[in-house]
Structure 1
Amino acid sequence: MGFAEKRGNYWYGQCKIAPGEHNTVVDANGKAIPFATKGEAQRAAADAENNHQRGDRRDPALVQETFGEYANRWYEAQDLAASTMQNYKRHIEEHLLPDFEDRALASILRTDVELWEKKENAVYAASSVRTWRATLHVIFEDAIDEGLITTNPAARRRGRGKRAGRSRGRGPEKVVTDALGMLLTAERAALLSGRDDEFVAVVLKGYTGMRWGEIVGLETEFARPSSIRVEWQLYELDTGEFERCPPKDDSYRTIDAMDWLAALVANHVARTKPAPCPCHGRTYVFRGQGTARAGGHQGAKLVDVARRAEVSTGTVSNVLNRPDRVSEAKRVRVEQAIADLRFVRGDAASEHAAHWRRNSFATWLFAPAVSGWYPKKAPQEARPVPLLGEPWPGVPTRGRGASDRADACWLPIAKGLTPHGLRHTHRTVMEDLGTEKVLMDERMGHIDGSVSARYAHVAPGMRKRLMLGLTKQWEKALDARLAMHSASPVRVLNDLLRTRASMIQSFRHRSMPCCRSRWRGPTRSR
């Protein structure tokens, strides 16, 4: 059997090729491989010995098939979802072929895979490298089924070669927020985009836990009076096209919606009047931003001027086209806002894209909303979102010299929060409310395969308690936002704040004792 041979401060692997005859483990160029530890040398020798024995029993042509040739054959034989095929193709072409393409499939050792993983970990996130190694593992498993190899060099052996326990490959903890954080994030995203769509989408995602593709692929017919039906998702391919496909893991489900959330979505649909998209011919609740606005901060928009001047967009349009219809005071305010923001007429894109782009939304709307910073993009470094401080919480300045004209910036809400983090947030909120696991799994689209889960069922009382709990969270967030400022430049939020303020005022009025009751004097004791 193979063994390790010590040479100075390193080891060579010696594999048995015939009785009493051993060869040193070599690389693809025939050069002996020095190993840092005795264990690595022994494992490499054992793998080389297995490869040698396999080669003696099989067709030499199969032994010489390279990884690249087999990977191409393997990929063409797959019949999976477009998203999965795209991911496999990216993993193979960008991360596996550069190291293994010209290697004979049977010559790849476990140590080769370990060295590749160590090299990738030095450049990429550990979670990504684990995903790529999993793809490599699947390819080798299928090669075993075809009889090309007998062992899987990408298989992990528990507790071997690790300096620490399971925490060694642990990724960063997911950032979550609370109800007020979701509300403020939604408001800022709407300010950055210049429309209400992003406000409604962020709130919907935070209070339902829907995946990003499910939000983008939500069709109007599935936004119902008391629920949201998850029937499809839109997956963005590398080609820029959107694939309409079932939700992840076939997690079809009906998500209960609070009355206020269902009304928020219904009013949004009634206000925007969405039309069928050109790519699928279906009507979706949300639409993308204009193609010229993919970054969300290139130039001032009409709505920015309206927010700065604290007037409607119709008033701004009248100032630009029919100034005689506008009072002098409003006209002066609008003209001053145009000067402050350096608004250029006709600069805003009038046509909206059919769907959101994941990168555009996450990078240029969501991330700046939660962190208060635009990301780095050559030639510009990362920088705070420049704002004109009035009206509160500020109007983003755009275009050339935006930072010089700004007089404020945002503080972080939950730095590091991602759109998918809202899904984690929703699960955390349900845990905090004491929601039963069976209802949480149904809402999130998760499957619990345990025996106990077969005996757990969702009862109406569970749904009612969750709806009441989420409604209280929403009302507390509105009250906290109302305490910060009584109005918002985002129209849909401004309407919500005014309604909430009116309800609070009405409640206080009913709770006050009546001042007109007649005084009857002291009660005479018997």
Structure 2
Amino acid sequence: MAYAEKRGYDKKARKTRWRGRYLKPDGTWGSVSRDDNKQPFYTERAARDYAAGLETDVRRKTFIDPRSGRITVAEWAQMWIESVELANRSDKTYRQRLRSVILPKWGTIAMADVSEVAVKTWEKELRTRYKPRYVKSVMSVLRVMFEDAAASKVRGDNPVPTLKSRRRGRYKGKQQKDETVLATPRQALLLARNAEKMRGLVGYTLVLTIAYCGLRISEIVGLRREHLILEDHGQGCRLLVRAQHQYVDGKPAQVDPKYGSSGSIILPAFLAELLRQVLASHKAEWVFTGPKGGKLNTTSFYEEVWRLWADGHEAMPDRLGRPSRLPYLEAVAGIQGIGPHGLRHSMKVWLDELKHPRVAVEDRMRHVLGGVEGVYSHTTLPMELEIAADLQALWEASLKVVVDRREWETPSRPREKDSPKLISQKSPNLENQDQEDETAA
């Protein structure tokens, strides 16, 4: 049974200090000398009542040892990060957020002393220093860390507010403008033609594979020959998503797709034929090779390659008057700023507009449906074949001549000196294509 005992005389407060004693879950005696507000007990009754409350928590199996909360955030973070199972890229992200932002602020503070008000104030200050997406990532790491701390009985609650609990104070309405840049099938074709001027058949097919299969750029880089089934035995020609390219400990490696989202995707007929041509054009193990036949290098892909395909490039001679190594590329009208992932989003929109079953669309995107819908909805082969047929129809419609609107714009790419890395490659298969009819470096 809980009781109190004297601890000595507090000269500063001119009062006797007390501590409460209580039975812990393991049968040993624990002691507590401060309340939830970190104030000492100056009466016998206050110490005894607090200790009795802890014994009640023991009986209800909600007990949290007050001493557990005295561990610092840095000490808990070190134990916590080693216990969390994360993919390589996520592990690096979590550790970076802890090292660079979270621990410099909270590292020396006891876990029990971190309050929700202090966290909200800190988050508000972060938003003045960093971009919203980065702040969201930091807060996500902090939230998960404290969730696990509460589950491990290090403290009783999570001081990091959830998204729902942020509806306090000045109301911020939902952002009206969707900043995601989407492409129509016609714009995806024009983007592929720009890629063809720089990277030939490989670049042309790379863009269309992202657009019509919804692949991530890391999955494009990690695509091998054995991942393509280009003979139809009644199941459709297929692309197998089995791996993605990542750097692990600074070295290139093949790892599982993001979130373990492996899949099998039926190819539209035109794309299956293009991929046959790509495989016949080289003998490398990778489907999409670099300019010299090796594996694609994504280090400078966005700035030095993709941005040129989407935003155009002026063919400028160098200072010695020699011709530009890069072809003149006009910008595709209406999709300036689009990234490879924008084409993945675009395919989802195309399929939604065609009213395909949600389960089949999400399956092609390699998403998992949640709840009851995910349990009882299933994708069938006829659904997959119908999607492939409709994508083929979109492709064929995109080849038609457009005369009622402007499709190209003046290049928005700043004039820069040529980069020796970006040597134009002509495609023997596509260089004679009639121009009127119509995410890798």
Instruction: Compute the TM-score of the two structures, normalised by the length of structure 2.
Output: 0.71
Partner of 1:7: none
Q: 2:402 & 2:167 partners in 1: Cα distance? A: 53
Partner of 1:110: 116
The structure 1 residue matched to 2:243, chosen from 225, 229, 232, is 232
Q: 1:98 & 1:492 partners in 2: Cα distance? A: 57
Partner of 1:287: 289
Secondary structure (helix, strand or coil) at the match of 1:242 reads strand
Q: 1:494 & 1:88 partners in 2: Cα distance? A: 47
Matches within 5 A, 1:260-299: 260-274=270-284, 283-288=285-290
Q: Deviations over 1:23-64 (max 9, x none)?
A: xxxxxxxxxxxxxxxxxxxxxxxxx98463899988887554
CA apart distance, 1:402 = 8.2
CA apart distance, 1:496 = 5.0
Partner of 1:187: 193
Q: 1:199 & 1:53 partners in 2: Cα distance? A: 70
CA apart distance, 1:457 = 3.4
Secondary structure (helix, strand or coil) at the match of 1:260 reads helix
Contact residue 228 and residue 257 of structure 1 kept, 8 A: yes
CA apart distance, 1:143 = 1.9
CA-atom RMSD in angstroms: 3.8
CA apart distance, 1:147 = 2.7
Percent identity of the aligned residues?
Answer: 25
Partner of 1:356: 297
Change (3 A) 1:450 1:493: farther
Contact residue 187 and residue 332 of structure 2 kept, 8 A: no
Secondary structure (helix, strand or coil) at the match of 2:254 reads strand
Q: Which moved more, 1:209-218 or 1:77-86?
A: 77-86
The structure 2 residue matched to 1:366, chosen from 306, 329, 336, is 306
CA apart distance, 1:104 = 2.5
Contact residue 242 and residue 257 of structure 2 kept, 8 A: yes
Query: What amino acid sits opposite 1:386 in the alignment?
Result: E
Q: Deviations over 1:54-81 (max 9, x none)?
A: 9998888755432222212221233332
Matches within 5 A, 1:84-233: 84-156=90-162, 158-165=165-172, 167=174, 172-192=178-198, 194-225=199-230, 226-233=237-244
Matches within 5 A, 1:45-64: 50=36, 52=38, 62-64=68-70
Secondary structure (helix, strand or coil) at the match of 1:235 reads strand
Change (3 A) 1:223 1:404: closer
Partner of 1:21: none
Q: 1:462 & 1:60 partners in 2: Cα distance? A: 58
Q: 1:54 & 1:211 partners in 2: Cα distance? A: 58
Instruction: Compute the TM-score of the two structures, normalised by the length of structure 1.
Output: 0.60
CA apart distance, 1:477 = 2.2
The structure 2 residue matched to 1:247, chosen from 240, 250, 257, is 257
Q: Which moved more, 1:256-265 or 1:361-370?
A: 361-370
Contact residue 180 and residue 480 of structure 1 kept, 8 A: no
Runs of at least 5 residues in structure 2 that lack an aligned partner in the other structure: 1-33, 42-49, 55-63, 231-236, 409-424
> Greater relative contact order (Cα 8 A, min sep 6): structure 1 or 2?
2
Runs of at least 5 residues in structure 1 that lack an aligned partner in the other structure: 1-47, 275-282, 290-350, 373-384, 388-396, 502-526
CA apart distance, 1:186 = 1.8
Contact residue 187 and residue 490 of structure 1 kept, 8 A: no
Query: What amino acid sits opposite 1:434 in the alignment?
Result: K
Change (3 A) 1:51 1:232: farther
Q: Deviations over 1:228-258 (max 9, x none)?
A: 0112222234x44234222223222210101
Change (3 A) 1:353 1:73: farther
The structure 2 residue matched to 1:448, chosen from 366, 369, 387, is 369
The structure 2 residue matched to 1:422, chosen from 343, 347, 352, is 343
Secondary structure (helix, strand or coil) at the match of 2:388 reads helix
Q: 1:113 & 1:371 partners in 2: Cα distance? A: 41
Q: Deviations over 1:434-472 (max 9, x none)?
A: 222121011100111242444443344433432232122
Contact residue 211 and residue 344 of structure 2 kept, 8 A: yes
Q: 2:279 & 2:370 partners in 1: Cα distance? A: 38
Q: 2:310 & 2:75 partners in 1: Cα distance? A: 46
Q: 1:54 & 1:415 partners in 2: Cα distance? A: 63
Query: What amino acid sits opposite 1:370 in the alignment?
Result: A
The structure 2 residue matched to 1:478, chosen from 377, 380, 399, is 399
Q: 2:134 & 2:321 partners in 1: Cα distance? A: 37
CA apart distance, 1:139 = 1.0
Change (3 A) 1:183 1:85: same
Q: Deviations over 1:170-210 (max 9, x none)?
A: 88521101112111112223434x44322211110001111
Change (3 A) 1:457 1:497: farther
Change (3 A) 1:452 1:110: closer
Q: 1:95 & 1:191 partners in 2: Cα distance? A: 44
Q: 2:154 & 2:39 partners in 1: Cα distance? A: 12
Q: 2:294 & 2:327 partners in 1: Cα distance? A: 32
Query: What amino acid sits opposite 2:38 in the alignment?
Result: H
Change (3 A) 1:353 1:97: farther
CA apart distance, 1:266 = 1.7
CA apart distance, 1:97 = 1.9
Query: What amino acid sits opposite 2:208 in the alignment?
Result: V
